[in-house]
Amino acid sequence: MTGLTHVTLSGTAYECGVIHGETFVDEIQQNISVYLDKFAYHGVDKQTTREQASDLLPRIQEWNPEYAEELRGIAEGSGISVIEIALLNVRYEVLYAAYSDGSLGVDGCTSFGLLPEVTADHHTYVGQNWDWAEPIANTLIVTEVHRDNVPNHLAVTEAGIVGGKMGINEHGIGLVVNGLVSPNDGDDPFRKPFHVRCREVLEAERFDTALKPLVASLHACSSNFVLGHADGEIIDVEASPNGPGYVYPRNGVHTHANHFANNGFESCMERQLPDTLYRARRLRQALEQHSGDIDPATIKSALSDHFGRPASFCRHIDKNKHPQKRTQTDTSVIIDLTERTLCATYGPPCETTYNTYQLGGAA
Ligand SMILES: [Zn+2]
């Protein structure tokens, strides 16, 4: 496998889901299997997980009826039960609630944003190394969504999950994300799920309406969202069950890892992943030293850094860890908001090349 498979989803929300489900049956089944094992390892049995997904499904219908329709379409197209597809779509809430005791954290992810004044071509960029369980690299796909009445967008998602986490829409709004953990994660699981919010960001026409789904209601679990706009704007929203915090670029550069940079929240991920404390700072340093002349080659080189390997931001499997706690960079993503292009790798960026996906047709 050399790159992530690109698929165009068009028609109604339901029809988009059907195409998604029909195209990626095997990947969706693999994804469900990987997550059920992971949930079980973290003390959440299958029955509890299915009940949580079942309870959340009617609420997703209320919060975002079209998301629920697309989810049902994936079930129809793949021939897999709607509860299991719902389970994938709330997998962030299931796992991160289990992490909130501070003992189970497994993640990674180092993200960035670059304003036009620091880039060689004066474009605005966002991107990240997305670090997660190794088998999930095989279920990552690039969906290009062309639905009536919502902006077209291109995003990396996991097969079976409607909302892409790293993406760009036709209005130049882009998104990348990081996992965060704080003590009240999961106390109230019946809040709008992470992946639904990601989809709503990429369906926004303006930057203020892209921010709204992240800040207008409290989150079930903590997470970080880096939003960018092609016209030269970047805002980082650190969400938690107690409310959002904000971080803005400094000297045209923004970076973020897996701990809260805003002082208002108790941050838990670094207790298990202390490497988060150097990853964002180190990426900032690698980018800032080329300020005014940063191009995609500079970014790719920065994202391949191995300081602290395997706990580097080009992340590699740590064989000393339990298999369920091992992570690697499953994909490295660079989004040129000005050009509406998304470049992504399959696996750690030091070992592979970036494929370019252009909104409006694969390059
Ligand atoms: Zn590497």
Mean pLDDT along residues 54-73? 96
Cα–Cα distance between 120 and 123 in angstroms, integer? 8
Is pLDDT at 337 greater than 60 in this prediction? Answer: yes
pLDDT number for residue 143: 97
Distance 263 CA to ligand 1 centre (A): 31
Cα–Cα distance between 240 and 219 in angstroms, integer? 6
Residue 300's contacts (CB-CB under 8 Å, 6 or more residues apart) are 332, 334, 349, 354
Is pLDDT at 215 greater than 90 in this prediction? Answer: yes
Distance 312 CA to ligand 1 centre (A): 8
Distance 134 CA to ligand 1 centre (A): 14
Helices within the chain (DSSP H only): 13-23, 25-41, 46-63, 65-78, 82-89, 91-99, 194-202, 207-215, 269-272, 276-288, 296-303
3-state secondary structure of 140: strand
Of 115-124, 233-242, 323-332, where does mean pLDDT reach its minimum? Answer: 323-332
Distance 67 CA to ligand 1 centre (A): 35
pLDDT number for residue 287: 98
Structural contact between residues 288 and 294, judged by C-beta atoms closer than 8 angstroms:
no
| Band of pLDDT at residue 148, cut at 50, 70 and 90 | confident
User: 161: closest CA among 257, 300, 34?
Assistant: 34
Mean pLDDT along residues 46-63? 91
Is pLDDT at 206 greater than 70 in this prediction? Answer: yes
Number of H helices and E strands in the chain, helices first, is 11, 15
Mean pLDDT along residues 93-115? 74
Distance 344 CA to ligand 1 centre (A): 15
Q: Which structure tokens are listed for 81? A: 């039960």
Distance 284 CA to ligand 1 centre (A): 18
3-state secondary structure of 96: helix
Is pLDDT at 274 greater than 80 in this prediction? Answer: yes
Distance 325 CA to ligand 1 centre (A): 18
pLDDT number for residue 48: 86
Cα–Cα distance between 176 and 167 in angstroms, integer? 7
3-state secondary structure of 15: helix
Distance 27 CA to ligand 1 centre (A): 25
Distance 321 CA to ligand 1 centre (A): 18
Query: What is the four-CA torsion angle of 341, 32, 105, 280, rounded to 10 degrees?
Result: -10
Tokens 């050399």 sit on residue: 2
Distance 150 CA to ligand 1 centre (A): 37
Distance 277 CA to ligand 1 centre (A): 19
User: 222: closest CA among 100, 126, 328, 107?
Assistant: 100
Distance 128 CA to ligand 1 centre (A): 14
Mean pLDDT along residues 252-276? 89
Is pLDDT at 276 greater than 70 in this prediction? Answer: yes
Distance 349 CA to ligand 1 centre (A): 6
Distance 109 CA to ligand 1 centre (A): 13
Distance 304 CA to ligand 1 centre (A): 5
Distance 313 CA to ligand 1 centre (A): 8
CA-derived radius of gyration, the chain: 18
pLDDT number for residue 362: 41
**Ordered domains of the chain (ranges, CATH):** 5-9+106-362 (3.60.60.10)
